[in-house]
Amino acid sequence: MNVNEVVANCMAMVSPLGDAKGISFINHLCDRSIFCIRTDKTRFKQIFQNLLFNAIKYNKENGSVTVDGWETDDNFLHLSVTDSGVGIAEENYGSIFQVFHTVDIDPKHPSGGTGIGLAVTKLIVERMAGRIGFESKLNEGSTFWIELPLASNEEAIIWTDDLAVGVDPIDKDHQAIISLLNQVSLKTAEDADFDRAVRELMDYTHYHFRREEAVMKACNYPGLEEHRKLYRKRDAQTNDIVDTWRKDPNPEARDHISKFLRDWWRNHILKEDFDISNYTKGNMRDIWKALDKL
């Protein structure tokens, strides 16, 4: 997707909403190179428009909304929306991406928006292998930013319908695991954050395979024992390479961990779990009962 083109179209569409407040719009992205990213165009427009709507909604009279973007060191597009508005108090930072959170504003301010809110925006961005964050000062304004993988980024894994195996609890597990995999693949993360992401991924993997084995038993999947052996083998391999990195935390070892885990999960979802899904048809009631017992 050509980001520059879509960003320009979105800004042209929402700018009339700022006319009543005299808000000016500045697009620095158009002065830069053309950026192409791998993403869902409809979802991208939805989240970007939401950031623009908020920049208008929480802005001051005769304020400004500025859009900019650049390539990061780890092959993502960093896209920012900066307003000159009311800003956010520091005590509210922790709740900005929580469901139903809003900032009190003048009821006369325009309330147009996408209706998805920042909590859902964050969820969508992470599903698209991205990141979201903000900086803000009270009474000075805010900058909300997203980072999405460039078209040349081969490490980020994006959840699509092609990865769905058709068993809702398993698909939701896989979505969570892919989000954690992308955190593990983040080259700019500090060692402590990388270690935390690996621990969370390994913990969630144990949880997922318990649920997956319950599904297999409920639908009499004939490859249960082979699946269990393969998981134990890969789990042991993961522990070995992670322990090696912890003894000597270097970039090459981190890259090895990330690649091993990405390859594991791509094969697991696209091959092993699609085979299991052939046995789940007509057994969903038994599957839900088995999962409820865990």
Q: On the CB side of 210, how many CA atoms lie within 13 Å of its CA?
A: 10
Q: Which two tokens stand for residue 190?
A: 């500090």
State residue 99's pLDDT score: 61
pLDDT in 10s for each residue of the chain, 294 residues: 999 999 999 999 999 999 989 999 999 998 888 999 988 899 999 999 999 999 999 999 999 999 999 999 889 999 999 999 999 999 888 888 876 555 544 444 444 444 468 889 998 898 888 999 999 999 999 999 999 999 998 888 888 777 888 888 888 899 889 888 988 888 777 899 999 999 999 999 999 999 999 999 999 999 999 999 999 999 999 999 999 999 999 999 999 999 999 888 888 887 778 888 888 888 889 999 999 988
Radius of gyration of the chain measured on its C-alpha atoms: 22
Helices (H), 86-190: 117-127, 168-184
Pair 175, 104: CB distance under 8 Å: no
Cα separation, 76 vs 250, whole angstroms: 22
Residue 153 DSSP SS3 = coil
Cα separation, 129 vs 172, whole angstroms: 15
Residue 1 burial (CB count, 10 A):
15
State residue 38's pLDDT score: 86
State residue 109's pLDDT score: 45
Nearest Cα to 238, choosing from 210, 260, 267, 208?
260
Task: Output phi, psi for 65, to 5 deg.
Answer: -130, 120
State residue 100's pLDDT score: 54
Pair 18, 65: CB distance under 8 Å: yes
State residue 107's pLDDT score: 43
Nearest Cα to 4, choosing from 39, 48, 35, 26?
35
Show me where the domains of the chain are located: 3-149, 161-292
Q: Which two tokens stand for residue 13?
A: 């569409």
Cα separation, 47 vs 75, whole angstroms: 20
CA end-to-end span of the chain? 43
Task: Output phi, psi for 243, to 5 deg.
Answer: -60, -40
> With respect to CATH, is domain 3-149 assigned 3.90.1150.10?
no
Please provide the CATH number assigned to the domain covering 161-292: 1.20.120.50
pTM: 0.74
- Class of residue 282 by CB neighbours under 10 A (exposed 0-12, middle 13-18, buried 19+): exposed
Nearest Cα to 145, choosing from 121, 127, 128?
121
Q: 103: Cβ–Cβ under 8 A, 6 or more apart, which residues?
A: 58, 86, 88, 92
The residues facing 148 across adjacent strands are 77
